[in-house]
Chains A and B, each alone.
Chain A
Amino acid sequence: MAMRRSTRRRVVRLALYALFVAVIAVALLTTDWQRVESQFLRWDIAADQFPEIVTIALRNTLLFTLIAFAGGLFLGILLALMKLSSIGPYRWFATGYIELFRGVPALLTIFAIGYMLPIALGIQVPFRPVGSGLLGLILVAGAYMAEVIRAGIQAVPKGQTEASRSLGMSSFRTMMFVVLPQGFRITIPPMTNEFVLLLKDTSLLFIVGTTPFLKELTVFARDEASRTGNSTVLLMAAMLYLVVTIPLTRFAAYLERRLARSR
Chain B
Amino acid sequence: MSTDETPRERVHPDAPAIEIRDLHKSFGDHEVLKGISLTVRPGEVVCVIGPSGSGKSTLLRSVNLLEEPTSGQILIEGIDILDPEVDVDRVRTRIGMVFQQFNLFPHMTVLGNLCLAQQRVLGRSRAEAEQVARDNLVKVGLADREDAYPAHLSGGQQQRVAIARSLSMNPDMMLFDEPTSALDPELVGDVLEVMRTLAHEGMTMMVVTHEMGFAREVGSRLIFMDDGLVVEEGDPREVLANPQEPRTQAFLSKVL
Residues of A with Cβ closer than 8 Å to B? 157, 159-160, 162-170, 173, 177-178, 181-182, 185, 259, 262-263
Contacts and interface: CB of A to CB of B under 8 A. Distances in A.
Interface in B102-120: 103-107, 116-117, 120
Contacts of B121: 167-169, 173
B66 A166 contact: yes
B233 to A, nearest CB: 25
A47 B93 CA distance: 67
Nearest to B96: A166
A165 B66 contact: yes
Contacts of A169: 89, 116-117, 120-121
A239 B151 CA distance: 42
Given A173-B120, A177-B120, A263-B151, A165 B92 contact: yes
Q: Would you call the interface of chain A mostly helix, strand, loop, or mixed?
A: helix
Interface residues of B, number: 27
A263 B109 CA distance: 10
A168 B92 CA distance: 5
20 contacts: A157-B103, A159-B99, A159-B103, A160-B105, A162-B97, A162-B103, A163-B103, A163-B105, A163-B162, A164-B105, A164-B117, A166-B64, A166-B96, A166-B166, A167-B92, A167-B117, A167-B165, A168-B121, A173-B120, A182-B106
A263 B106 CA distance: 6
Nearest to B94: A168
Contacts of A262: 106-107, 149, 151
Nearest to B148: A262
A168 B149 contact: no
Contacts of B92: 165-168
A140 to B, nearest CB: 30
A124 B151 CA distance: 52
A168 B104 CA distance: 15
B45 interface: no
B90 interface: yes
A160 B120 contact: no
Given A165-B92, A168-B89, A262-B151, A185 B107 contact: yes
Interface of B: 64, 66, 89-90, 92-93, 95-97, 99, 101, 103-107, 116-117, 120-122, 149, 151, 162, 165-166, 169
B101 A159 contact: yes
Given A168-B169, A173-B121, 19 more contacts: A159-B99, A160-B103, A160-B105, A162-B97, A162-B99, A166-B92, A166-B97, A167-B92, A167-B117, A167-B169, A168-B92, A168-B93, A168-B121, A177-B116, A178-B105, A181-B107, A182-B105, A262-B106, A263-B149
Contacts of A159: 99, 101, 103
Contacts of B93: 167-168
Contacts of B117: 164, 167-169
B123 to A, nearest CB: 11
Q: Which 6 pairs of residues, A with B, have the shortest CB-CB distance?
A: A168-B93, A163-B103, A167-B117, A166-B97, A159-B103, A168-B121
Which of A168, A178, A259 counts the most chain B CB atoms within 10 A?
Answer: A168
Nearest to A173: B120
B110 to A, nearest CB: 12
Given A177-B116, A262-B149, A263-B151, A166 B107 contact: no
B183 to A, nearest CB: 16
A170 B93 CA distance: 11
Contacts of A185: 107
Contacts of A162: 66, 97, 99, 103
B227 to A, nearest CB: 25
